[in-house]
Structure 1
């Protein structure tokens, strides 16, 4: 099966975050392209045992091996994909395989090792370097292309750019989630993420504390536990902070459509999907000046430096004072252009073409 592309499905054993979302949506888009006979090669999804299922109609799925984690990549997936080309979408792949395309989403391990444990940094620094010597590297933004070219190092022209999309959240929203959480439309700001230092929830909490008490709430969706706030160095959440935990896509869409704005305060991103998801759902964005976020959002977002809670608070007041909605309409008019630039289908096509080039070479 030399004309086959074997997709690394280990992401289906991992908790859902931006990387896993990327992998899932790219595979789903490839499945649609396969159904349209628009792919030059056959695609097969290989997974470790016990992986969660992905509803595919045209791409076969096969569980292989007995291991999990990186050992599965290096032994089981490497062996099962040896006769074809590999497509690895979640920043890992077999280091000895030449015929493969590996998506490394950013250079956060190299640029901000303080965000990770030392063993993780050592492993992924070595893994990235080994993959760069053999595989074709892809990434998700022009910013990340420049970052990876610098740290690996590689020629930027040799790195494929296949960005994220946001069509997955253009869905029927669960509008009832606003009432279930005791909220009012337009009376709250929204964040998505977890307690990692990079996601920088602290600046949003400090900005909220600068507002008049009771003037707005902050809904922080994700793997957040009030009990660990102190250990994470975060301010104690006050009565205007809601922590609903992880929500499904329809609930997130419902919250976005009712929010005054999404706050996206990340210190470092390779792309940043939530702002695009917000735009799709008619939600303005207040974003940090992380370069990749500015690349994605352009003039459609309002920006603050990642640790500048005073400026973020001023932007929050600006939107709260937007009584006639003129500011909101202006930002969302600009957002339509940003959304039109990105789609999972286009990026799946880019990666399929990269696999075809690798196979031909």
Structure 2
């Protein structure tokens, strides 16, 4: 099979998009070595991409706008170097023969209040482009239903699942990432800092629990992104006195250490297309308190404690209850954590079914 990939995020990009592209291509190359994989990347990344992955075929494009790359550069590459048996894009379908697109979520349709006007305008292109795809892939069954509910014209939407990034499961040689953090002596929350990720409520809840301090802080990993929230006075005080610490974005080695050494991980997102951080935490052995949302029940199963993400009292009670137990580190296999070989096999099978229909 000859496969043409949207490589816009191959070198840089949103963490989830970059990770999915790298893991899918890596697993595809490993488990289906007879297939030819071809990626279209921004021209500024071309030489680095070729040097880093000489066994892959790369083509550069001078276009810089992701939807334009997929609608012009991918189609041009398909005409010039094709035919390809499949084209896989992220978010913006190319409209080539046997075109597939991986859509992370359509929360911007179901909950536009969580996004800025600029984000909504940009993201509104996703369903428009998806209409020209032969098949739409997404990560969870819950998101399949959301995509279909808001876009009934899309006939073929399939769930592939996702796996834990290999960078998280890899054994890192690093010791403590922060000399002021001690194993089992901090709480952790991970996610971009915006309204949907609900970090302000997490801070309010752990402060209410009375269990955080400068010696036992809540560590917040993530960078501001999109529509941000305003912290309460109590939350601002907790930041000032060291009970809450913001790290910004961190590299994979440090994130892996934080997962493995935290006392527990909290994930109180208002909704997700999948919800990768709690799956990463479970795979690293951390206890998890997660939002009581359908998608998280789907991908996390019975491996976590659930709480209403808008109820600070319920979250605070769950934190206190977990801290009353001895610290435990038991790696858990969440239902949504699929081997990357299975993810790629699901995508590949989708294309094969589409080919068989022709």
What is the TM-score normalised by the length of structure 2? 0.86
The one-character-per-residue Cα deviations of 1:239-270 (angstroms, maximum 9, x if unpaired) are: 21111222111111111111111111111101
Spell out the pairing of 1:37-76 with structure 2 (5 A cutoff). Answer: 37=34, 41-51=35-45, 53=49, 55-56=52-53, 58-76=55-73
Task: Tell me how far apart the structure 2 counterparts of residues 175 and 352 of structure 1 sit (CA, whole Å).
Answer: 37
Unaligned stretches of 5+ residues in structure 2: none
- CA contact under 8 A between 2:17 and 2:90: conserved in structure 1? yes
Asked whether the 8 Å contact 2:5–2:88 carries over to 1, the reply is yes
Identify the range of structure 1 (125-134 vs 22-31) with the bigger mean alpha-carbon deviation: 125-134
How big is each residue's C-alpha offset from its partner over 1:291-337, in whole Å with a ceiling of 9 and x where there is no partner?
211111111010111111111111111122113x4xx46xx47x236
Matched with 1:294 is: 297
Distance (Å, rounded) in 2 between the aligned partners of 1:42 and 1:358: 19
In structure 1, how many angstroms separate the alpha carbons of the residues matched to 2:71 and 2:333? Answer: 42
Alpha-carbon separation, structure 2, partners of 1:57 and 1:87 = 21
- Retained in 1: the 8 A contact 2:19–2:165? no
Measure how far apart 1:142 and its partner are: 0.6
Of 6, 23, 32, the match for 1:25: 23
- Cα deviation, 1:84-137, whole Å, max 9, x if unaligned, reads 24533421122x434211011212111111122334324433431342344311
Partner SS for 2:189: strand
Contact 1:286–1:304 at 8 Å: present in 2 too?
A: yes
Instruction: Identify which of 10, 13, 17 aligns with 1:12.
Output: 10
Give the aligned partner of residue 172 of structure 1.
Answer: 171
Q: Distance in 2 between matches of 1:56 and 1:353?
A: 25
Aligned with 2:38: secondary structure?
Answer: strand
User: C-alpha distance in 2, partners of 1:124/1:197?
Assistant: 17
Q: Distance in 2 between matches of 1:247 and 1:148?
A: 31
Give 3-state SS (helix, strand or coil) of 2:230's partner.
Answer: coil
CA contact (8 A) 1:85 1:358 kept: no
Q: CA deviation at 1:57?
A: 5.8
Q: Identify the residue that residue 348 of structure 1 maps to in structure 2.
A: 344
Q: State how far apart, in whole Å, the 1-side matches of 2:292 and 2:334 are.
A: 20
1:79, CA displacement in angstroms?
0.9
One of 239, 244, 251 as aligned partner of 1:241:
244
Q: Secondary structure of the residue that 1:300 maps to in structure 2?
A: coil
Matches within 5 A, 1:1-361: 4-12=2-10, 14-35=12-33, 37=34, 41-51=35-45, 53=49, 55-56=52-53, 58-82=55-79, 83=82, 84-94=84-94, 96-154=95-153, 158-168=156-166, 169-173=168-172, 176-178=175-177, 180-212=178-210, 214=213, 216-224=216-224, 232-235=229-232, 236=236, 237-238=239-240, 239-323=242-326, 325=327, 328=328, 332=330, 335-336=332-333, 338=335, 342-360=338-356, 361=358
- Residues 113 and 181 of structure 1, relative CA distance in 2, 3 Å threshold: farther
Deviations 1:20-72 (CA, angstroms, capped at 9, x unpaired): 2222211111121233x3xxx42211212123638446432222344443222
Encode CA deviations 1:187-207: one digit per residue, 9 max, x unaligned.
111111122111110111101
Question: Cα 1:337–1:256, aligned 2, differ >3 Å: closer, same or farther?
Answer: closer
Partners in 1 of 2:170 and 2:129 — Cα distance? Answer: 40
SS in 2 for 1:50: helix
Structure 2 residue matching 1:76: 3-state secondary structure: helix
| Matched residues, number | 342
Instruction: Evaluate the alpha carbon distance shift between residue 148 and residue 283 of structure 1 in structure 2; reply closer, same or farther with a 3 A threshold.
Output: same
Structure-1-length-normalised TM-score: 0.86
Is the helix fraction higher in 1 or 2?
Answer: 1
Q: CA RMSD in A?
A: 2.6
CA contact (8 A) 2:108 2:115 kept: yes
> 8 Å contact 1:257–1:283 — kept in the other structure?
yes
